[in-house]
Structure 1
């Protein structure tokens, strides 16, 4: 089964996007397969509300491991089945905590297998000096690798925040030649364009 991978730095809104995008595609109960950095696997079934409450957090590295959700995406020409992969947040440099290091290694190991890579960037924090979610070297590295593939897009998230408009301009300037889709994972705006992109590349 082809995979659509959500990747990006910590605190950019990856898990909220994954949960709300699944809801947008018609998934009301989420059967999520979790894989820890140690390789342990388990499954949980959550409602949309439960998933948002339990899996998202304002604190960085709340997601440690892979969260896999199989989705049947409806389209004009039938349906496409794929795995939506929510991943651990990346950081610039080497994290001190071994569990975070293993989680990042687990994320990077999955990148080559994904048919679609959705690279989330927090448009409201692009230029924030020292912010964990600010654009940094790891974003350029992901874009450099992703740019070699047709199924790569940057999702400029948090467009509901006032600082995001200026951030989107900066993202477009710093990542020329890439598909850039402005979204709000919170308000579920821009999801139609993301769905079209994912459909085309699965």
Structure 2
């Protein structure tokens, strides 16, 4: 993986996604990666890792939701009942597997950030937080995210406050399932922010 500079990685990701008719996902991955890099400059020793994780975080878009359970099982991934109920969430684990197997990313910190970019997790790192938040700011829907103003305000204080703001927003807006990792992250962030 060390042989990739970000331009060559961008090109490889583009080829991989465009061949599968996922151009919109490519645009989203690049905007998340570039934003994560900029955000990471303030928080990380190696912000380039955030860019790599961002570029690859949704690489699993090549598999539609209705295939994700089968794909995950073929890859030997363990699934929670919440993931079986809402297969969309499985894409973060599949993206990690593709990053490792197809793109030869072996850095555990980068793989972790890819694997929890949708839900976060209880034992999150600053890199996990940066990629999680970048994905929410540069979301893959049309228009501005409905939570963006509050999220950006929270981000002025800390990564933790921004992540907590987003999870609180989710929990108050008809979330379909509560992933165990999201719940663990919520509990830890709440404890961390109230003990300051």
Under a length normalisation based on structure 1, what TM-score does the superposition of the two structures give?
Answer: 0.28
More helix by share: 2
Under a length normalisation based on structure 2, what TM-score does the superposition of the two structures give?
Answer: 0.28
